[in-house]
Structure formats: structure tokens, C-alpha cells
Amino acid sequence: MALRVGFIGLGLMGSSMAANVRRAGFPLVVYNRTRSKADTFRKEGVPVASSPREVAQSSDVVIIMVTDAPDVEQVLSGKDGVLEGAAKGSVVIDMSTNSPDHAKRFHYLCSERGVEFLDAPVTGGDKGAREGTLTIMVGGAEEVFQRVRPVLESMGKTIVRAGEVGAGQMLKLLNQVVVGVNMMAMIEAIALARKAGIDLEVLFRVLSTGAANSFTVQYYMPKVMKGDMEPGFRAAHLRKDLKYAIDVATKLDVPLPGTAVVLQLYSALNAMGLGEKGTQALVKVYQRLSERQNHSST
């Protein structure tokens, strides 16, 4: 019998991930704090729960895909939370991005109720979520991982068990370090190209076929060239992730100067009121800096 799946968090990525779970044939129930985001599922006959507790009561596996650690904790152990309704032996999978320490705390909260826990953050953006090709990084017990693997495979193409609880979050933060620094490098190349009079189409042709090629170049550079700042992944979320990475690095006494610079740039973007735009909106910070430089030199 197929595992019954509950999905909490129907945002930019969660809605597509939940839809893929349903397409794979798993009985599904969903919940979202803003109820209107569940309308598509309701219209398609998917049960929409009135609380996380209600989701857990009818699920063998509960997936949480929300913004940050405080949101996960509220969903888990707040009033009418998952742990009020979860049966012993059921599994909670946190697919949000936070930190190894938070994952260990959520594991502790679940274990007190006899509930299994995996941290399983994802990468691949809205495109990967829609197409079911996400990379999923899992921390937790091997037996639990294998039990829910078919559910994870409905959402992702590359499924990696990184180690015990917390290892999935750590691997995701490492991924975000590369994503952030890579974005900064691409945006700096674009900023310099514009000032030097290099056609961005020509630049894209070179970057996308040579040693500088990356997902960032392939997916985000065309958006920048078109002036499309809408999110595949929100800038505010990358800022949050980079802050977690810096926190872990500080704790482990590992210098990350490049990541620190990128964090400050995304903090500037957030201060400009553009945190809800895509990560490629970092180009706006460079445009602002360039404008000020031009003004000061006249």
C-alpha cells in the first residue's frame, strides 16, 4: 500500500513538489497557512487540512516546506501542530533550509513523540520543483531514508543521504555557498561587460559554453538580460541560507570571506526592498553602486 503523504507549505516550490507527489500516485493531503494557495489542490479533489495536526492524523509521512526554522518549529510543535496528530512510527521530513543545529532540535522534538525525522533540503529552484528533478540532500537514519525514498524520488532526480540528522542541512549550506559566490561572479562579469561595451548575448555565448559555465549562467543570466527579476529562488531566502552558513563557519572557525561579501550584498538588496525578487536581482545592487560611482566622479 502506498504511503499516505501530507504536505505542508505550498509556496513557490512546495506547490510543485506536492503536485509531483500526487502525480506519483501517493494519497495526498495538503495544508498552507494562506488557504488560498491550496485552491488548486482543492479544485483537483485533494483534501485540504485545516491544521498541521489534521495533516499528521491522516499521513504516514509529513513533508514540511516552509521558509525558516521558526516556521518549522511552529508547524511541528505549535498549537494544532504536526506532533499533536502524528502517530508513533510516522515520519516527518523537513525539506526547508535552516541549519544542522535546528535539524537536531526538530529530531529531538519528534523523537520525544516516537516520530521519525529526516532533514532533506533541496536545490534546483522552481524549475527543478516543477520538473521533479530536484537534488535532495538527506540527513537521518538509513532505514527511515529507505522507507520514504519512493516519496523523495517523486520530487527529485538526485537523492543523496549525507549522513545522520543535520548532515542534509549542512550539505545544503555548502551548496548555497557555491550558489551565492557563483551568482556574485556572474553579476560582476555582467556589470563590467556593460561598462566595457561588450554585448551581453556574446558574453552569454562564451560563459555558457566555456569553463565558466554553470546552472547560474544557464538559468539566471538570460533572466538578467531580459530584466526578469521574478524569483526562481527568492533573494531573501538565499540571504537567510548564507547567514546560516556563516554562523556554522564561525562556530567551526573556518574563514569564508567570499561568502561574507555575498551575504552583505544580499543584505543590501534586502534593504532596497527587493528581497522577494529572484536571486538574480543582485544585479540591482551593482547598478546602484555603479550609479553612485558615476555620480561621485562627475
Active site residues: 172
Let me know: does 61 contact 152? Beta carbons within 8 Å: no
By DSSP bridging, strand 61-64 and strand 28-31 are unpaired
DSSP state letters, the chain: -PPPEEEE--STTHHHHHHHHHHTT--EEEE-SSGGGGHHHHHTT--B-SSHHHHHHT-SEEEE--SSHHHHHHHHHSTT-HHHHPPTT-EEEE-S---HHHHHHHHHHHHHTT-EEEE--EESHHHHHHHT-EEEEEES-HHHHHHHHHHHHTTEEEEEEEESTTHHHHHHHHHHHHHHHHHHHHHHHHHHHHHHT--HHHHHHHHTTSTT--HIIIIIHHHHHHT----SSBHHHHHHHHHHHHHHHHHHT---HHHHHHHHHHHHHHHTT-TTSBGGGHHHHHHHHHHHHHHHH-
DSSP state letters, 270-297: HHTT-TTSBGGGHHHHHHHHHHHHHHHH
- If we measure between CA atoms, which residue out of 63, 87, 211 comes closest to residue 138? 63
> What whole-number distance in Å separates Cα of residue 228 and Cα of residue 248?
33
